[in-house]
Structure 1
Amino acid sequence: MARDRCWLLLILFTCGLTPEVAAETEISSDGPVAAQEPTWLTDVPAAMEFIAAAEVAIIGFFQDLEIPTVSVFHGMVQKFQNVSFGISTDSEVLSHYNITGNSIVLFRLTAIGLFNSMIQIHLLLIMNKSLPEYEESMHRFRKAAKLFQGKILFIMVDSVMKESGKVISFFKLKESQLPALAIYRTVDDEWDTLPFTVVSAENVQKFCDGFLKGKLLRENHESEEKTPKVEL
């Protein structure tokens, strides 16, 4: 399945990482590596230019530089030296990208597929960030993420962003089916979706477990659509 090319904003869940997971971002001790520093983005034009210049750009948006997530971010900078990293504490920059808290955000030119050498299964929460239930849904989504550390990369996609239309189309979702979960495996392009009314750690876990076991919900939907309707 061909991948559409577009700019996509993805929030990576690094806040609240356990020490074991945070340690994965540290530099290998195989040998000395020249230190790499993120680019400071002091205003909106600088951030826009930085993102436009790279196929993959990761920006740490921080309101507080003393939190543990900042150390995790700097560890990522050192480990992935072929990726462009930026950092900003400017309130106008955070507002421009609808950042309301400390976040590490990835901007990528290719819609599907993140760091193929890392975690190969990605779970996307496709949801309008302005919905009243967004914060509670994110809390539950993060709770479920802890159950699949090292197995599945949990990602938030803001459905109202223009660029997100390519992702929604890729997973053959309709606007009426959102919010939805979409899961994707990079090695074979296998995927599945689950529209929902209320996200919970339980239904996220069940959906992920089913995918890991090879049970695809969309196969049931496709078979139902192919079954001819018979009038009685």
Structure 2
Amino acid sequence: MEAAPSRCLFLLFLVTCELSPDIAAEIQESSDGPGSSQGPVWLTDVPAAMEFIAAAEVAVIGFFQDLEIPAVSIFHSMVQKFQDVSFGISNDSEVWAHYNVTGNTISLFRLTVVGIFNSMIQIHLLLIMNKASPEYEEIILRYQKAAKLFQGKILFILVDSGVKENGKVISFFKLKESQLPALAIYRTLDDEWDTLPMAEVSVENVQNFCDGFLEGKRPRENHESEDKTPKVEL
């Protein structure tokens, strides 16, 4: 059963000011042509940000406090390379607060989840939790630290369980609200995936879960064979 399109929020921590030198150089080199003139849209307030996101199938926003850091230049280079994607940038405190951003972050907003699963990185780790949780900021900092350990190997994603439409993601991984926060890991190549409800989201717990999946210790193959109910498409 194919779900209707919905807007879901994903924070891609692997590109948050942590691009490897090789990737950064490649992006910079590809944007050094005479036709490179496109720039990100400045989002100066919350209504502008909301309108920008609503108008695009794929929207990428760079949230930067300091516009002089190297990551901002890399972000502008990304704009030149991926000109079919809508890029925005904001250093407005109210915009940051609206999207619960607490540090320099690049966030991707997409109409559906399918495009994320078609990314070049074939293994995706989802942290499914409610962003309204009082522990959110502390947990996200740990999640970001863990993401750096698997840069280029695993795509780290945040799914806000407080958004009604994201219930499809929770159902896809056969999780219940009572089990959140939880980790869900997915490999696009063979559709293997696994989940882990977590009482404590720590760097060590996230690392162990990822390492176990990479080593083949905890993969689950073809969950449809375990559950005869039709799998809901994301």
TM-score, normalization by structure 1: 0.81
For residues 1-232 of structure 1, what are the structure 2 equivalents within 5 Å? 2=2, 5-13=5-13, 14-15=15-16, 17=18, 19-20=20-21, 23=24, 26-29=27-30, 32=33, 33-114=35-116, 116-216=118-218
Distance 1:225 1:115 in 2: 22
Give 1:83 shift. 1.0
Contact 1:57 1:85 in 2 (8 A): yes
Q: Residue 230 of structure 1 corresponds to which residue in structure 2?
A: none
Q: Where does structure 1 lack aligned partners over 5 or more consecutive residues?
A: 227-232
Distance 1:54 1:187 in 2: 28
Aligned-residue identity in percent:
71
Give 1:178 shift. 0.2
The alignment yields a C-alpha RMSD, in angstroms, of 3.1
Range 169-178 or range 153-162, more displaced: 153-162
Give 1:82 shift. 1.6
Aligned-partner residue type, residue 18 of structure 2: L
Distance 2:112 2:209 in 1: 25
Contact 1:4 1:166 in 2 (8 A): no
Contact 1:59 1:86 in 2 (8 A): yes
Contact 1:179 1:196 in 2 (8 A): yes
Aligned-partner residue type, residue 171 of structure 1: F
Give 1:66 shift. 2.5
Distance 1:55 1:68 in 2: 28
Contact 1:3 1:112 in 2 (8 A): no
Distance 2:107 2:39 in 1: 17
Contact 2:60 2:109 in 1 (8 A): yes
Aligned-partner residue type, residue 34 of structure 1: S
Partner of 1:122, secondary structure, is strand
Contact 1:111 1:166 in 2 (8 A): no
Larger radius of gyration: 1
**Deviation by residue 1:167-214 (Cα, 9 ceiling, x = unmatched):** 212212100010001112233333221111112222222221222233
Give 1:160 shift. 1.4
Partner of 2:201, secondary structure, is coil
Partner of 1:114, secondary structure, is helix
Give 1:223 shift. 9.7
